Structures are given as structure tokens and as C-alpha cells.
Structure 1
Amino acid sequence: MKRSSGARIGATAAVSVLSLALITGCSDEGSDSSKGSDSASSSPTAPAAKALTTAELKKLLIAQGDVKGYKVEAVDESYPTSKSEVKVDKTECRPLAYTMAGLAPGDTDANASITAGEDKSPDASKALEDMTEDALADAFDVSMTLVGLSSYDGDGAEKTFKSVSDAVASCAGGFTISAQGEDQKLNKIASEKASGAGDESVAFAASGEMEEAGTGDVHMEVVRHGNTIATYYTFNLGKLTSGGAYTVPSVVVDAQAAKLK
């Protein structure tokens, strides 16, 4: 991602020009953390889980006002709208690539997504091109999270979660994503500490090169709530260019988890 191209559209609109193929990152510290609990589907007398519809998932997504200090908006055209738009050179790494795109990491048509960004605007009295480097960096120090929900029949959610968890390990050496006319080599996938939300959760980060900015950092978490999977893909343009630390915001995860209870 070229810094100048981001500056032209402003910090509050950064998500609209950040495509899956241009934003990559990682942290080489942290550990994978997950928790599990007995699910109703494990009982021989319990009925098989039935997937929610896309319309039902949309109603369960976080909305404006659910996360204090964040602006929740519809996903814009900068993100892929179908899995056919996302190509991966390693089949086992597809669940991770789909998570980064806000798409269902598993095999289902029931999928919905939303964006949640820190509600922080640059100084309206100054044009971005007139800002100092420090002021510009501060204006772009905004965490944006793509939240996705997908739902599955039977044990589909458990299998999907396992495919993500397995991919974090099997894709540790990285993989290449092709999306929206761009190829991006991810050099490394690293486990991170998960929130522990839901029935199972796993967190990870991806590392890759950015144009004129060295290596960038982005972070993901996947949480299973019964037969529904919640995915979180977070990037911070300011931290990407400065190398500062950040992660998936716990307030976003907690707010979404509350709506899935």
C-alpha cells in the first residue's frame, strides 16, 4: 500500500481502498488459544443444527451504537463479494484467505459481513497533503475491523473451525493470495492469543511486504458460537506504516459475541 494513495482519501475512509491483496501483516509472538465446550449436536438425542439464513445473520451483526467509539458501516466494494474472486495457491490456506475477505471460511451460502472502525477523524481544518508526517500518522492510526458471520448445518461449524485452526499451523510458512487483480505473497502466519469468546476461538496474524512501507501487520480471529462462525479481520493503516503493535479489538469481539448469545 502506497502511503500517498491512502492519504488522498483520508483516515476515516481508509477501509474503502484497502483490498485484501494490498494489506498483509503479522506478529511473531503470541500463542494460539482456544476453548471448547460440549455442544448440543454432540448429544445423540439432540436435533441436528440448522444453519441460519443470510437474512437472519444480517440481523445478528453488530450495528451502529453497539460498539462505543466505533462507526459500524456496510461493507464497501473494495472487498471481494464471493469466493470466486479470491484465489489461493495452497488449498489448505483458503479458510484463512476467506477470513481476511470477510467471507465464510467454510462451505455455506449463509454469510453476512459489516465493518467497524474507530470513530476518529483527521483535523477537518487541514488538507491531508498539508499535514506533517506526525499529524498524518496520527490521523491514520485507526483500527478497522471486517466482521463476518456464517452459519452451517449439522457439524459444519465445528468442521469449519477445525479447518481454520489446522490452516494456521499448516500455512505457517505463508501462501499467495490473488484478489481484485493483485497478487500478494504472505510470508508467515503466526498464532496469537485468542479472546476465548464463544465455544472455540483461534487468533492469528499474517505477514507480508507492502509497497514502500516494509512489512505490515494485520490480525484475525475466528470464533465458533454453536453452528455460527464469527470472523474478524483487523488492520490499522497508521500502525502498518509505523510498525506499531495492535490487535483485533476486544470491544468489537465482545459486542458481536453478545448479539450471538
Structure 2
Amino acid sequence: MESSANLTAEQALTDSLLPSSSAYSGFPYLEAVIGFMICMYFFETYLDLRQHKILALPTLPATLKGVVSDEKFGKARAYSLDKSRFHFVHACFNILEEGAILSFGLLPYFWMKCGVLLENWGFNPENEILRTLAFLGATTVWTQQTVWLFFKDMILAMLLMVVLGPPIVSAIIYLVQKGGPYLALYLWGFMLVLSLGMMAIYPVLIARLFNKFTPLPEGELRAKIEKLASLLKFPLKKLFVIDGSTRSSHSNVS
């Protein structure tokens, strides 16, 4: 009897946290969003198919003759075709994944469960900051297992989100709650400061977690870069070679 009463109480709390149907108008917003996503998918796929046909042409374009060798053109063409084929699979998977998330209401489900969890822990489920942080934690754990097993970069990105996400989200929610008529101005100022701060922090701290930075050795390349920077009056202080080729075969980044 006691477990049944607890289950009933939890169900009542769950129902109270779910938005009522009367809160929405008669317009089918969810169906409209999913329909728009599907239309955009087919339109973009049509454009990608046209581009794929161009990439499949075996002859070197006239504008590139004498500039690119046949060997380099063949390698670039093969790479572009492989990338295009993978893009079709990736886009199809994405539309199925996003459609399933919206159709089955996975994000509202996690949001609702976070409210129940906060209530069980003695917190106020109406506190938007606590509930948002719990929601971010739940969705992170949801994808953590696969990420932890296979993708080092995704692990680092997830850890960065855990460290940087809560204070940023908390600040945004606080501004939304207290902003009043000047909310847009406050949010603009906050995002401006955040963007400038991230521009300064990213190359110094964050990028080094994902790539190896090696000082560019003395030589002809360094001399030409320094000469160009001097000509343009660019305040060049340091030059590094980044091991971008470990993640892409396009080129290395310097």
C-alpha cells in the first residue's frame, strides 16, 4: 500500500509538471516544425545530389588546367566523392534522430523527470536555474557511455560543457528573470563579453586540449610569414604549427 501511495504521489507530481494542452493554441507547431525539417532535408539533398554529379565528372575543369595536375585532381575528386557519400548517410541519420527526439518528446521527458528528481531531493522544481542544470546533466549522461568509449575529443568537449555550461546558463537564466524591459540589452552585453572572453581563452587554453601546438621553426616559411605580417602591420608575436592533419586530411594548420 505504501509503495502504491508513493507511486501515485510521484505520478501526480509528474502530471503537474507537464504543460497542459490548454496552454497551447490549436496550431500544430510540433508537426509544422517536423514538416519544415523534412522539407529542408529534401531540398538540401536535392542540392547535394546536383553537386555530387559535378564532383563525379572525370575531366579536369578548363579553368584549372595548368594550375592543378591530373594526379592531384584525381585525389581531390576521390576525396570529395567519398565525403559527399558520407554526407548523404550523415544527413539521413540526423533527420531520423532529430525527428525521433521531437516526435517522442524526449527532451520534454528529461525536463519533466528533472523536476521530479529535484522534488525528491528536496529542491524547488520551479527553480529554473537548478532545473536547467539538472537537465544539462541528464542529457550529458545520456550520451556519456558511447562518447567515453570511443571519442576522446567528445569526452573533452563534454567536460568543457560541464565546467563552462552551468555558470553561463545560470547567468543567462538570471538575466531572463531579472532583465525586465532591458532584457535584450543585458543579453546582448553578456554575449558580447562572453564572445570576447572566449576569443581570448580558446587559443590559449581550450584549443591546446584538442591539438598539439609546435613553434614554427626558423626557415623560409617563417621568414615569409613574418615579412607579410610586417608589411600588413600585423602584431605577430608567435607562430605555431597545429597537428590538424590528425583529424582531417585537408591540410595542416599553421
Please indicate the TM-score interval, normalised by the length of the shorter structure. Answer: under 0.3
Specify which structure has the bigger relative contact order, considering alpha-carbon pairs within 8 angstroms and separated by 6 or more residues.
1
TM-score w.r.t. length of structure 1: 0.24
TM-score w.r.t. length of structure 2: 0.25
Tell me which protein shows more helix as a share of its residues.
2
Q: Greater Rg, structure 1 or structure 2? A: 2
